[in-house]
Chain A
Amino acid sequence: TTDSSRGADTDDTPVTVFHDPENFNVKHPLMNPWTLWFTKPPSGKGDNWAELLKEVISFDSVEEFWGIYNNITPTSDLALKSDYHLFKKGVRPEWEDPQNKHGGKWAFQFKEKKSINIDALWLHVMLAAIGETLEDDNDGEVMGVVVNVRKGFYRIGLWTRTVGKPVPGGGDGNNAGGKGRSLEQGKEVLYRIGKRFKEALGLKENEMVEFSGHTDSAHAGSTRAKAKFTV
């Protein structure tokens, strides 16, 4: 027989957006579909947070990401108290979500708002997330990334599924929240992710990103904050 089984017929030849932006026939798949969310600033009329949190769009290719990014309000133009959240599809960007409630986050606050380029920083963190370079294949920790626009600072965070410990229903395997992942391994995974997050943000060695559990931060007002770690 001929060698047609390799699918090398002309129609199938990949034409990318770089060859022809109006007539490409292949797009670059992402490892996971992602959803972009937005938190509107409160109007001051007692609206609750759930109503302010809006799902904007889901996407699963590199090309689609750029179509969205190039046509949406840049972070630097957002009003105070706005947030963008980019989360794996199916995970709500709230700590109450079943996939977040045993988790935590790495975060860094940029206090010199005028001396940084928040749009570039947020872009680079999103690219690290959708490009799947923040964690290794079997880590299973990264849930999403978030940028908060506040009066005195911008904050960029990376949410993880666990705080490095087994979680209820996490199974017996060496997966995020599984009993087969020792506490030491769990912490190692989180540290490695924290380092890559720090790298994506282009921070200097002495600029520390800090990890905290969601339940710790949820109760931070009323109880003493639990031990945090930094990288």
Chain B
Amino acid sequence: MTETRISRRFAECAAAGRPALVTFVMAGDPDLETSLAVAKTLAASGADVIELGMPFSDPMADGPAIQAAGQRALKGGQTMARTLDLVRRFRESDATTPIVLMGYYNPIYVRGSEAFVAEAKDAGVDGLIIVDLPPEADDELCLPALGAGLNFIRLATPTTDDRRLPAVLANTSGFVYYVSITGITGSAAPDATKVAEAVGRIKRHTGLPVAVGFGVRDAATAREIGRNADGVVVGSALVAAIAASLDADGRATAKTVPAIGTLVADLASGVRAARLAAE
């Protein structure tokens, strides 16, 4: 695949001798305007890649924090059209920060895969992570997405053994997302030694950058994981920070956007120190 915003960003981070900070928030949490302000703040505070969750009623791979974020977004009226609109508006002021949409297949399937990838590309989306589409289902969305010039980022997990890894990597592009634990998002902290081994194993099979997520919630963990990984993904901790900033009725407050800015700046300092610690 040709160069994309994602490949350029990972290359820049590698040249700077540090892992990329990949941040996840739910699109429309708790409302569209706040969510746009959050996305801009992520980019301004040190996030290298932004993953936007596409809310779904039945997020089977997510823990309580991201489940609740999706519910808040849906309650706030978020739809796929609004999520694409959010990306379009973000792109008006930011032409370089990669945006990856992450979620489940059904809201895409009902729109039609071909129509969806065209709309997403047009809005300024760079890649997709779809949790419930394994490589066995590549004809559903992965191939149309690649055809439209979007990266299709696959999850590799501790259960993905060497036999299976080539199939998982075959149509993966942009980066590989290594899920550091068997479990749902926001679970226990990963074991850094095991993660380093797994990252090494994946890198023997691919030249793509490997980002590690699930269970990374603070700068210290980000720094430790970032010693070996090309990227560190933080999601539940950010989403929980949004939740903590809301008022009793679940609405955004003056604290919401600054809370994200503070946390991301801290995480960014963690990944920037990652390789220093290794020396």
Q: Do A and B bind each other?
A: no
Residues of B within 8 A of A (CB): none
